[in-house]
Each structure stands twice: as C-alpha cells, then as structure tokens.
C-alpha cells in the first residue's frame, strides 16, 4: 500500500455524515497548510501535504514544519484525502485540478487579500469567494471554514470540548453531509463547529466582517451569524 492510500478509519462522525475521515489532504504547504497539518496530526488524522509541484521540493519543509505528515503531489493529496483542505493563495484557485476534486469533501480555507491577490475579475462577478471557487470546482462538495482563524492561532487556540472559552469556527456549505463531516473535523481539531448553513453564508466569514475580525465562542458566533445578511451580490 502506498503511504498516501486511504483506509477506512474508525473515527466516529455524526449520523448522516459523508463517512469516516481518516486522511486529510492539504493543498498548500505554506503557513496555513502546515499549521492545519500539525493540528490534524495531533487530532489523529493521517496527513498528506502538497504544494503546486514536485513533492521533493517540500519534503524538508513538511518534515520540519509538520513532522509525521507526508509530502505528496496535489493529485495524491486530493485523491487520498477523505477531506481536502485548500490552503493556497486565492488568486491561484484556477490552478487546482477540478477533476481530482470531483466528489470530494473540500474545505475552502482561502481568503481574498487585495495586497497579495491583486485584482481578480472572477471574484468581482461572484457573490462570495467560496462560490467563485465552487463554480470552478463543480464536482467538489465545498465547505468554507478555517479561514477566520490566523495560522498562528490554529494550534494555540484549540481546546477540548466543553471548555467554556472554546473558540468557535463557522462551517458553511451547500452539501449537508459534507458540512457535517467538516464540522466533525473542526471539532476534532479543537474548536466548536457552528453550522452557518449554505455556502453563500461564507460571505459572512470573509475578511472585513465581524466574524473574521474577532475571536468568538459558540454563542457569540451564532449571534453574529444570525445578524449577518447574506449579500445577493458583491
Ligand atoms: N495567513 C493566515 O493566517 C491565514 C489564515 C486563514 C486563511 N488564510 C488563507 O489561506 C491561504 C494560504 O495562506 P498562506 O498564508 O498559508 O499562504 P502561503 O504561505 O503563501 O502558502 C501557499 C502555499 O500554496 C501552495 N500552492 C499554490 N498553488 C497550489 C496548488 N495549485 N496546489 C497546491 N498547493 C498550491 C504554494 O506552493 P508553491 O510554492 O508550490 O506555489 C504554497 O505552499 C490564503 O488563501 C490565505 O488568504 C490565511
């Protein structure tokens, strides 16, 4: 068996979810990708990390930044990941391979930063960045989350379930099963997962929003989501 081959896991997931998550594939070996990789390893997942090219180019980075994870190609991370995390610069979303993500539960952790992403015509036409990504990846079961936490906080802010100040992260996606699966992953990473509803609600998690700019527990996040209008157009 190849090191990146997925096998059925025994992690309990909510009834009706898309199945047990054993392997997390991460597309993007930068700040967010390696932080999520470390936290996912801590949670007990098998973790495969890819950048845009040859895995040999990130082997050392992965070994140092996320010991226990395996550097693979993007196709391998997408193919073997029960959940695949997008942690690449948003401007590069169209370098993803839609076929490799068809049918996959995909976490969109990306944000638009004008300073680094520049002008993005496709984004200007989309109601939200995640809906733009979903349109490019029509077969993917896209779920937005992990975008409104700093990469440096992914490890420092995690807490066990039931702790009063446990940080909450919103989870938005059109596929209910995929959303439930990702909510379970978020919980296992050490956060209260709050169901934000459809992918369009991801607009309420984007940079500049009250949700994005703060650190919230479940009650506060639920209040903010209730108040957040989902814009029909950007
Ligand atoms: N920084 C934060 O605290 C934070 C928090 C939440 C969300 N985000 C969002 O998360 C995303 C990543 O941010 P970052 O700070 O981690 O970026 P980063 O440090 O610049 O890393 C980006 C990574 O993406 C890889 N990549 C580019 N195209 C790829 C592709 N097609 N397939 C697989 N990997 C690819 C790059 O590899 P190559 O070198 O091969 O191009 C690099 O490893 C951004 O959208 C950002 O807005 C950031």
pLDDT tens, the chain, 234 aa long? 232 222 323 333 344 444 589 999 999 999 999 999 999 999 999 999 999 999 999 999 999 999 999 999 999 999 999 999 999 999 999 999 999 999 999 999 999 999 999 999 999 999 999 999 999 999 999 999 999 999 999 999 999 999 999 999 999 999 999 999 999 999 999 999 999 999 999 999 999 999 999 999 999 999 999 998 755 444
Closest atom of ligand 1 relative to the 29 alpha carbon: 43
* Three-state SS at 144: strand
Region for 68 from its dihedrals, namely left if φ exceeds 0, alpha if ψ lies in -120 to 50, beta otherwise: left
Determine the distance separating the centroid of ligand 1 and the alpha carbon of 86, expressed in angstroms. Answer: 8
Pocket mutation for ligand 1, best pick of 27, 48, 50, 52 (most atoms within 8 Å of C-beta): 52
For 23-112+119-227, CATH number?
A: 3.40.50.720
CB 234 within 8 A of CB 207: no
**What was the pLDDT predicted at 19?**
53
Cα 174 from Cα 26, distance rounded (Å): 21
* Residue 62 Ramachandran class (φ > 0 left, ψ -120 to 50 alpha, else beta): alpha
Q: Which of 25, 26, 27, 32 to mutate to test the pocket of ligand 1 (most atoms within 8 A of CB)?
A: 32
Q: Which residues, 6+ apart, have CB-to-CB distance to 145 below 8 Å?
A: 107, 108, 109, 169, 170, 171, 172, 182, 186, 193, 205
Q: Is the dihedral of CA 93, 187, 160, 162 positive or negative?
A: positive
- Tokens representing 117 are 């992403």
Q: Which atom of ligand 1 is nearest to the CA of 33?
A: 16
**pLDDT value at residue 230:** 59
Q: 48's torsion region: left (phi>0), alpha (psi -120 to 50) or beta? A: beta
Tokens for 106, please give them. Answer: 């995909």
Task: Provide the 10 A C-beta neighbour count for residue 166.
Answer: 17
Whole-number Å distance, alpha carbon 10 to ligand 1 midpoint, is 30
pTM score, whole prediction: 0.93
Distance 52 CA to ligand 1 centre (A): 10
How far does Cα 183 stand from its chain's mean position?
Answer: 10
185: closest CA among 9, 11, 1? Answer: 11
Distance (Å, whole) CA 24 – CA 225 = 27
What is the predicted pLDDT for the residue at 10? 30
Number of the ligand 1 atom closest to the C-alpha atom of 111: 47
pLDDT in tens, 152-171: 999 999 999 999 999 999 99
Distance 196 CA to ligand 1 centre (A): 24
Relative to beta strand 192-197, strand 46-50 is unpaired
User: What is the spatial distance between Cα 165 and Cα 124, in angstroms, rounded to a whole number?
Assistant: 37
Q: What residue ranges line ligand 1, CB within 6 angstroms?
A: 27-33, 50-53, 74, 87-90, 92, 95-96, 109-111, 113, 147, 150-151
| Centroid of ligand 1 to alpha carbon of 100 (angstroms) | 18
From ligand 1's centre to the CA of 121, what distance in Å?
20
Ligand 1 mean position to 34 CA, how many Å?
10
Give the DSSP per-residue string, 74-98.
HHHHHHH-SEEEE-S-GGGGGGS-G
Report the Cα–Cα distance between both ends of the chain, in Å, rounded.
Answer: 47
Question: Ligand 1, atom 32: nearest CA belongs to which residue?
Answer: 52
3-state helix, strand and coil shares in percent for the chain, rounded to the nearest 5: 40, 15, 45
Q: Could you identify the atom of ligand 1 that is nearest to the CA of residue 90?
A: 45
């Amino acid at each position: 068996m190849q090191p990146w081959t997925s096998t059925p896991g025994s992690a309990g997931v909510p009834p009706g979810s898309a199945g047990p998550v054993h392997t997390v594939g991460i597309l993007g070996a930068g700040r967010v990708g390696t932080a999520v990789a470390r936290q996912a390893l801590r949670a007990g997942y098998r973790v495969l990390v890819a950048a845009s090219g040859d895995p040999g180019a990130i082997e050392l980075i992965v070994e140092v930044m996320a010991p226990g994870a395996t550097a693979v190609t993007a196709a391998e991370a997408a193919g073997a990941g029960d959940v695949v995390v997008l942690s690449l610069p948003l401007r590069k979303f169209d370098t993803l391979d839609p076929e490799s993500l068809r049918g996959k539960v995909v976490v969109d952790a990306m944000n638009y930063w004008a300073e680094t992403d520049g002008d993005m015509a496709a984004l200007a036409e989309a109601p939200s960045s995640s809906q733009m990504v979903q349109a490019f990846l029509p077969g993917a079961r896209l779920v937005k989350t992990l975008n409104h936490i700093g990469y440096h906080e992914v490890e420092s802010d995690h807490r066990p379930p039931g702790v009063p100040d446990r940080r909450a992260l919103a989870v938005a996606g059109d596929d209910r099963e995929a959303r439930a699966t990702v909510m379970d992953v978020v919980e296992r990473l050490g956060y209260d997962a709050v169901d934000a509803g459809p992918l369009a609600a991801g607009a309420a998690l984007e940079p500049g929003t009250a949700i994005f700019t703060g650190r919230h527990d479940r009650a506060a996040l639920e209040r903010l989501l209730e108040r957040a209008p989902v814009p029909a157009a950007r």
